[in-house]
Amino acid sequence: KFNMNLTLLIFYTALALGVSFLCSILEAVVLSIPNTQVAVWQKDGNKRGDLWSKLKADDAVKPLTAILTLNTIAHTMGAAGVGSEVQNQFGNEYLTIASVILTLAVLFLSEIIPKTLGTAYWRQLSLITGVLLNWIT
């Protein structure tokens, strides 16, 4: 029983942080690409042009809604899964410390760091991000 619960605890934590990390990078890239760059890509015949023109239509509401919905689900399910496994494995007395640790991990590992990366490297990430967002929207 111990190993299974520890496995689930690690799984829920990694899933929440991983999905949220991805969502934060996607969000940062969407918000960092200027419309003028999309126009340049279209003019040059770059495949990013048409892709991002569709994604950024209506102020990018559709991709941002998909990203934020997925991120909210990841945070909620991750917190519920981690909390449940901590309680099962270690008891109620460790729930508070687990919540603090998870909150800090989410803040730094799946919000601040990926948003910084997405903002700094939006050009390099624009094609893969566009393809992924086109798929999930």
Q: How many domains does the chain have?
A: 1
| Domain span at 32 | 2-136
Residue 10 has which token pair? 């690690």
Question: What is the residue-level pLDDT of the chain in tens, covering all 137 positions?
Answer: 455 668 999 999 999 999 999 999 999 999 999 999 999 999 999 999 999 999 999 999 999 999 999 999 999 999 999 999 999 999 999 999 999 999 999 999 999 999 999 999 999 999 999 999 999 99
Place of tokens 């996607």: 26
The predicted pLDDT at position 4 comes to: 64
**Nearest Cα residue to 74 out of 134, 6, 137, 13:** 13
Distance of CA 86 to the CA centre of its chain: 24
Q: How many helices (H) and strands (E) does the chain have?
A: 7, 0
- pLDDT score for 5: 66
What is the spatial distance between Cα 132 and Cα 137, in angstroms, rounded to a whole number? 9
pLDDT recorded at residue 12: 96
Amino acid identity at 3: N
Residue 27 phi/psi, 5-degree rounding, is: -60, -45
